[in-house]
Amino acid sequence: MTNTDGAKPPQGPPAPDNESSTGGAGGKTHPAEGRMPTPHPHPTTGLHAHLIVTHPTFHLDITLTAAPGEVVALLGPNGAGKTTALRGLAGLTPLTAGHLRLDGTDLDRTPPESRPVGVVFQDYLLFPHLTALDNIAFGPRCQGATKAEARRQATEWLARMGLSDHATAKPRSLSGGQAQRVALARALATRPRLLLLDEPLAALDARTRLEVRSQLRRHLADFEAVAVLVTHDPLDAMVLADRLVVIEQGQVVQEGTPSDIARHPRTDYIAQLVGLNLYKGRSEGHTVHLEAGPDITTTEDLTGEAFVAFPPSAVTLYRDRPTGSSARNLWRCEVAGLETHGDQIRADLTGELPLAADLTTVAAAELDLHPGAEIWATVKATQTHAYPA
């Protein structure tokens, strides 16, 4: 691995001057550090992990698979188990049970420093006393590269990251985006077979985040091994990942491509992330009978348990019961709250059907919306989407 976890950046020694391997990211294991990885009897490529971690107040039990070149995002609310899963992959949190195989090799008992794993932590954890160049060169030096060779590799990575002019800069003089790129280069310089990114964009301001997200996507597209990204930001996950794995309360609740997750959310958390109203009920033809609430008319013809979803923008609001509306769905509601949502107003509605509705500031003013106001909400059947539960 390229670093260790902790509250403060490590103050470790500079890269050694001898020519021998001392362990480290992907390096050979010293006998005192633990056993070497043993090949799995059925060699495979990529990642296959069953991560079981049990604490007194929390239990994680998830299965993760990924092919070389694939970027998988672990998405979920705070406390869902995302960071525990990442630390389990890195070897920083021991597994209670399960297994971890990378390219057919069992890593369950391999020490963290001997795993072919690169990590980019949320706070980057760069060596504060080393320059950007020497931070990147540290990994190759630990793998046995000469000082000159390690610096040559680091120089190439700086150029690749667009940071050639910052080779002699210390971390304290780097911007957040520059520090993130140095941390990524340090992880990639060890040629890991598994790259772990823990909220890599969380420490950046909005403008820098947009630029660095685009750069990170390009670097991940060129990465030939497995990358696992941990984030709570749906936009980061949608842009950076090929596949999303959504975790809630230590369990996988849904996984699939970003477009599939966005179109077919299966929990309230996912629906809120992608900005949809989501309900579950039993479908009979074009009608979904909700478990607790009114019926919703849809264009899909289904039978059995089903989800039905529609965006807040599909909701039209009236102060009086509409008489000329063609919408098949009509509910009497009450405004529970209002908040600015981008360039619109989002109304939180309760009543016959709790839902969110988006409207312009002008429309909100004309309707005289305020908490406690009674309102009628309509949604056309063509703007709903029903799918099997």
In the predicted structure, residue 12 carries a pLDDT above the cut 70: no
What is the fold, at CATH topology level, of the domain defined by 31-262?
Rossmann fold (3.40.50)
Cα–Cα distance for residue pair 111/357, rounded to 1 Å: 51
Least confident of 30-44, 72-86, 179-193: 30-44
pLDDT tens profile 232-250: 888 888 889 999 999 999 9
Domain with CATH 2.40.50.100 in the chain: 312-381
**Contact at 8 Å (CB) between 209 and 201?**
yes
Residue ranges of alpha helices (H) inside the chain are: 82-90, 132-142, 147-160, 176-188, 206-222, 234-240, 258-263, 268-274, 361-366
- At 11, is the pLDDT very low, low, confident or very high (cuts 50, 70, 90)? very low
pLDDT tens profile 280-326: 999 999 999 998 789 999 999 999 999 999 999 999 999 999 987 77
**Contact at 8 Å (CB) between 109 and 94?**
no
Rounded to a whole number of angstroms, the CA Rg of the chain reads 25
**Contact at 8 Å (CB) between 140 and 189?**
yes
Tokens of 138: 């540290």
Domain 312-381, architecture per CATH: Beta Barrel (2.40)
pLDDT tens profile 66-85: 999 999 999 999 999 999 99
In the predicted structure, residue 122 carries a pLDDT above the cut 80: yes
Name the pTM for this structure.
Answer: 0.76
Predicted pLDDT of residue 41: 40
Domain with CATH 3.40.50.300 in the chain: 31-262
Tokens of 181: 């790129």
Mean pLDDT on 136-162? 92
